[in-house]
Chain A
């Protein structure tokens, strides 16, 4: 069974940093491309970042470019999101999501999410 478990969320002050983790199991993580997607409270879904299995391609939404960094450790079956210079508008539930077989970012499995709150 595919499982994605996010962790690392919490309360952080504006301008602060946070590192999210996503632990993957039940599939071959090392050959899977991965996304981070977020959802602000009461709002819709917003794609944040994407990374291929071999780190060869990395993409970011304009809203986080230069502040967030996606990375992975295939030996640990883990995906990460380093978030710096956090703003109030970054407050959201952050999901990691596996790209499906047809590619082009679309996800077939999602984790349960971890809540990030940016507030003083």
Chain B
């Protein structure tokens, strides 16, 4: 079955540390890839997305993600985190075969120490 794996369930960092959250998916065909973020008490919102072209995509608030097709990965990165980045982060995939059906990972909770 198609699935998305986020291996880090809870990540704790200090401010200014670098961040990398892992995301792997199991689907051999063409995919659309997303990272969503859920700040405490707020809507789930799109952080960045990849459909085609440059595999390094930039999103809001200094986040970026790199699509590595050979590794079925779409890891999220930020060079220097801030306390306001405390949130839950979800990786998601839409396989082209599934029309609009999106598959979410289990999420990674990020806590930033001020």
The yes or no verdict on A and B being binding partners is no
Q: Which residues of A contact B (CB under 8 A)?
A: none
Q: Which residues of B contact A (CB under 8 A)?
A: none
